[in-house]
């Protein structure tokens, strides 16, 4: 009987923790019961009573706030202060930038799926849709990416078109002469244009991302907005933003670009201003810019502003034609011909009111940059990545059906099915994350952590997708020329990986490093209590934290044992099961994240491999969540079920592998062993998507396919032109129409009725023998010629070849 009571007590104890019924009180009671039941079976009644009383007293101690604060919380506060690292102003500003949204749910261990599904993303307005269907389509038809490579930049006609239709003013409100587009519209424009020309997309991305317009909108004076925003929207002023320098790349706050407050002469008048010196590089649009957004460290050694000598990072708008500015040289980023180059400034004097926000903006530059980056990083590069991924999906789905080897389309070979499934399912997931993150921005969020995730993980996933697509295309992918559909985008991949915070930095230092502080329900409050030496507040938060930790431990264990099946979720069938899996993994992640921060403290900043793997887990949790949200919002269509399942299974496996890697390398091996039991009580259970499922996804993408159309609906697909993609699309339609005739000929070959070797000879033999009618002969001949045309690659005369560029 005591043994039965013991195990009942264990179950009751974890059930109470799982249900969150107050950790401090219930742990005391639970321990009393467990110890009493265990002792009753092995000791005397006196011992039973003694242990029960002792543990009851411990429970009362925890419940008595004044005793707890004096004898326990004060010591915990002292210990915690020693564990946490000192945080400078720039690091604190970066940590506090932006808002917390669904990432907070994932850190909680109990994501509220009903809240996510109730969130309604903003749809494109009629005006935004008309712009996509009108000027954006026109721009894509106007652009010839191969010619841009040969001319080393977009033509004057393209520049005029961009200015005329206010492509540079998408984020500028209509009241200032811009288009006033939403984040999802801005993203849709970039995705479509980038599928046609990376150089053109990059040219229009920068004025609408982190730069003068964004900073002016949120921090500029009204006079600054009235002057600059209409000129930026019309293209009268071309902006660039100069942040990166030789000494300040990922560590942008380490800039050695300086400004000194001084009196001087500007346009014939004596004014209070700033004398600037800087060296900047990698600045997009710098060679053609007329106005420079400049980040620098401002000094006031003579106290002319009446404050400290070191005023901090400051941002200003500088006319590019001022004396002392050296601008116009060009970098050559991977041969992709968008304007990019260095800028140098020596003893450049500007009035103080050139600072964004005027004198009130002095020293606020780092805050401006971090808050703006939380939004801008959500849009441009994720959209460009989705454009590349959708193009890869469209091309490989068609090429796998058009290109034949060994007598059948290459897409029917399992070796090609495997990358095809990856391309399609990951594209589905990427677009889901793009749309969801833009929806958060349109909903008023500044999702700092989620924006870092979509920037880093969508650009990285793009790299893998395009690599797979290049493999499927084979020789046609590596021969440069106007018919190479993927080559230009492939060359540009490292640019997206590197800019707006390199992916290595973002993964290893930002996603989890910032997320652990911002998204954890208690950690930031604990840090604030420590900074203020507020014992009462610390006592309250630390025990809420302990309750949270205990609850997640129990939840992780229960969900691990049951495979998440006890979780109530707003869905049924395969969809509901995916929700249960991600709830279980969120709980496991939250527990491991909590223990990682508690045990490593400030040393976690230096444990970048651990931090990077935790970032992987969080990122794939978010990507999986976005996939489920997309499927739900679409009405859970049967057409998308298999691609959704593949994407979710891949995400679950990636989360599991990241958590396992953390546990394998966790410094405290005893803690790691305990965590492994709680997180994986039955061992690792998640596997990559099966070959069978991958085959189903791949076959659904081949040829003229509704799924292929649905997954590639955001890109430009040329129809009436002589280009590689247009020719491939036309050939696919022609071959599909002739498929019944081709089947007749294949069957005749198998039966020995047709003995010719080449396809052209087989067609003529079938016609001559009466196997196919004249109209069928015309269709299959047209299909044969279209297939042959679609698989051709470019070749150049020697005199042309030696002058090729890009």
Predicted confidence (pLDDT) per residue in 145-186, tens digit: 999 999 999 999 999 999 999 999 999 999 999 999 999 999
Q: Would you place residue 530 in the very low, low, confident or very high pLDDT band (cuts 50, 70, 90)? A: confident
174 catalytic? Reply is no
What span, in angstroms and rounded, lies between the C-alpha atoms of 122 and 555?
34
Predicted confidence (pLDDT) per residue in 430-459, tens digit: 999 999 999 999 999 999 999 999 999 999
Predicted confidence (pLDDT) per residue in 458-475, tens digit: 999 999 999 999 999 999
Predicted confidence (pLDDT) per residue in 46-86, tens digit: 665 665 666 566 555 555 666 677 767 777 777 777 666 56
Length, in residues, of the chain = 806
Strand partners, 409: 404
User: Is residue 670 pLDDT above 80, yes or no?
Assistant: yes
Predicted confidence (pLDDT) per residue in 258-306, tens digit: 999 999 999 989 999 999 999 999 999 999 999 999 999 999 999 999 8
The pLDDT value given to residue 40: 52
Those residues with Cβ within 8 angstroms of residue 559's Cβ, 6 or more apart along the chain or in another chain: 566, 567, 583, 584, 587, 588
CB crowding 438-472: b at 16 or more within 10 Å, else e: bbbbbeebbbbbbbbbbbbbbbbbbbebbbbbbeb
User: Is residue 38 pLDDT above 70, yes or no?
Assistant: no
The pLDDT value given to residue 31: 55
Q: Do the Cβ atoms of 725 and 484 come closer than 8 Å?
A: no
Quick one: CA torsion of 705, 709, 712, 713, rounded to 10 degrees? 180
Q: What angle do CA 402, 407, 409 make, to 5 degrees?
A: 30
Predicted confidence (pLDDT) per residue in 331-384, tens digit: 999 999 999 999 999 999 999 999 999 999 999 998 898 888 888 889 999 999
User: 27-36, 61-70, 342-351, 511-520: which has the minimum mean pLDDT?
Assistant: 27-36
Q: How far is CA 450 from the centre of its chain?
A: 7
What span, in angstroms and rounded, lies between the C-alpha atoms of 390 and 387?
5
Q: Count of alpha carbons within 13 Å of 159, Cβ hemisphere only?
A: 14
The pLDDT value given to residue 45: 60
The pLDDT value given to residue 2: 46
Compute the average pLDDT of residues 231-254: 88
Q: Do the Cβ atoms of 766 and 748 come closer than 8 Å?
A: yes
Active-site choice (128, 214, 417, 500): 500
Q: Would you place residue 32 in the very low, low, confident or very high pLDDT band (cuts 50, 70, 90)? A: low
Q: Three-state secondary structure along 475-504?
A: HHHHCCCCCCCCHHHHHHHHHHHHCCCCHH
What span, in angstroms and rounded, lies between the C-alpha atoms of 78 and 441?
40
Q: Would you place residue 788 in the very low, low, confident or very high pLDDT band (cuts 50, 70, 90)? A: very high
Q: Would you place residue 770 in the very low, low, confident or very high pLDDT band (cuts 50, 70, 90)? A: confident
Own/partner long-range contacts of 34-41 (Cβ < 8 Å, ≥24 apart): 34/6, 34/9, 34/10, 37/2, 37/5, 37/6, 37/8, 37/9, 38/2, 38/6, 40/2, 40/5, 41/1, 41/2, 41/3, 41/6
What rounded mean pLDDT belongs to the chain?
Answer: 89
Q: Count of alpha carbons within 13 Å of 265, Cβ hemisphere only?
A: 3
Spatial CA neighbour of 584 closest among 115, 111, 114, 117: 111
Helix 573-600 crosses helix 638-664 at what angle (to 10 degrees)? 20
The pLDDT value given to residue 464: 98
Collapsing DSSP to helix, strand or coil, 289 comes out as coil
User: Is residue 775 pLDDT above 60, yes or no?
Assistant: yes
């Amino acid at each position: 009987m005591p043994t039965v009571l013991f195990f009942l007590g264990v179950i009751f104890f974890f059930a109470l923790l799982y249900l969150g019924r107050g950790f401090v009180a219930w742990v005391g009671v639970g321990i009393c019961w467990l110890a009493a039941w265990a002792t009753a079976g092995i000791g005397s009644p006196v011992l039973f009573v003694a242990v029960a009383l002792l543990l009851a007293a411990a429970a009362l101690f925890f419940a008595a706030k004044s005793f707890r604060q004096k004898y326990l919380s004060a010591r915990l506060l002292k210990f915690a202060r020693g564990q946490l690292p000192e945080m400078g102003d720039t690091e604190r500003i970066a940590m506090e930038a932006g808002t917390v949204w669904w990432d907070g749910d994932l850190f909680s261990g109990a994501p509220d799926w009903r809240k996510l599904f109730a969130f309604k993303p903003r749809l494109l307005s009629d005006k935004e849709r008309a712009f996509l269907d009108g000027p954006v389509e026109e721009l894509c038809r106007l652009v010839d990416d191969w010619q841009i490579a040969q001319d080393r930049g977009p033509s004057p006609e393209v520049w005029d078109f961009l200015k005329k239709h206010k492509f540079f003013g998408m984020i500028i409100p209509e009241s200032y002469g811009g288009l006033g587009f939403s984040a999802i519209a801005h993203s849709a424009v970039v995705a479509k244009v980038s599928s046609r020309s990376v150089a053109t997309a990059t040219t229009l991305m920068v004025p609408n991302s982190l730069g003068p317009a964004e900073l002016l909108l949120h921090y500029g004076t009204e006079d600054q907005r009235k002057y600059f925003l209409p000129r930026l929207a019309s293209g009268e002023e071309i902006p660039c933003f100069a942040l990166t320098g030789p000494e300040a790349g990922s560590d942008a706050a380490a800039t050695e670009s300086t400004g000194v407050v001084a009196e001087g002469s500007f346009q014939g008048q004596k004014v209070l201003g700033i004398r600037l010196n800087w060296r900047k590089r990698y600045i997009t649009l710098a060679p053609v810019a007329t106005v420079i957004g400049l980040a620098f460290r401002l000094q006031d050694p003579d106290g002319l502003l009446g404050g400290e000598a070191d005023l901090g990072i400051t941002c200003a708008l500088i006319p590019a034609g001022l004396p002392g500015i050296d601008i116009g040289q060009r970098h050559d980023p991977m041969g992709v011909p968008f304007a990019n180059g260095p800028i140098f400034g020596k003893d450049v004097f500007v009035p103080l009111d050139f600072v964004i926000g005027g004198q009130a903006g002095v020293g606020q530059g780092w805050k401006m940059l971090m808050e703006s980056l939380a939004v801008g990083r959500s849009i441009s590069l994720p959209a460009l990545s989705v454009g590349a991924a959708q193009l890869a999906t469209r091309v490989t789905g068609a090429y796998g059906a058009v290109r034949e080897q060994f007598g059948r389309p290459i897409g029917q070979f399992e070796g090609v099915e495997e990358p095809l499934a990856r391309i399609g399912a990951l594209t589905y997931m990427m677009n889901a994350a793009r749309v969801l993150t833009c929806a958060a921005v349109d909903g008023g969020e500044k999702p700092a952590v989620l924006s870092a995730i979509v920037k880093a993980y969508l650009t990285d996933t793009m790299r893998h997708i395009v690599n797979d697509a290049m493999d499927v295309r084979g020789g046609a992918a590596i021969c440069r020329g106007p018919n190479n559909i993927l080559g230009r985008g492939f060359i540009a991949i490292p640019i997206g990986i590197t800019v707006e915070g390199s992916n290595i930095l973002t993964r290893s230092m930002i996603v989890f490093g910032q997320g652990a502080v911002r998204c954890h329900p208690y950690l930031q409050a604990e840090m604030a209590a420590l900074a203020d030496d507020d014992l009462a507040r610390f006592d309250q938060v630390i025990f809420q934290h302990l309750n949270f930790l205990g609850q997640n431990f129990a939840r992780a264990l229960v969900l691990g044992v049951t495979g998440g099946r006890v979780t109530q979720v707003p869905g049924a069938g395969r969809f509901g099961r995916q929700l249960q899996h991600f709830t279980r993994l969120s709980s496991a992640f939250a527990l491991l994240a909590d223990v990682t921060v508690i045990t490593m403290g400030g040393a976690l900043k230096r444990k970048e491999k651990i931090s990077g793997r935790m970032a992987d887990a969080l990122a794939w949790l978010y990507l999986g969540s976005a996939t489920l949200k997309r499927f739900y919002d679409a009405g859970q269509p049967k057409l998308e079920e298999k691609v959704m399942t593949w994407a979710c299974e891949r995400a679950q496996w990636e989360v599991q592998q990241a958590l396992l890697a953390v546990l394998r390398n966790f410094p405290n091996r005893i803690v790691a062993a305990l965590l492994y039991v709680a997180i994986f009580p039955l061992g690792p259970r998640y596997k990559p998507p099966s070959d069978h499922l991958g085959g189903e996804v791949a076959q659904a993408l081949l040829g003229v396919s509704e799924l292929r159309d649905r997954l590639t609906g955001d890109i430009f697909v040329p129809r009436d032109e002589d280009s590689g993609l247009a020719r491939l699309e036309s050939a696919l339609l022609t071959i599909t129409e002739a498929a019944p005739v081709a089947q007749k000929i294949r069957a005749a070959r198998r039966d020995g009725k047709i003995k010719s070797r080449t396809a052209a000879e087989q067609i003529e033999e079938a016609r001559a023998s009466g196997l196919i009618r004249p109209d069928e002969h015309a269709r299959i001949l047209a299909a044969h010629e279209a297939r042959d045309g679609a698989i051709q690659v470019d070749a150049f005369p020697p005199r042309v070849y030696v002058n090729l560029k890009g």
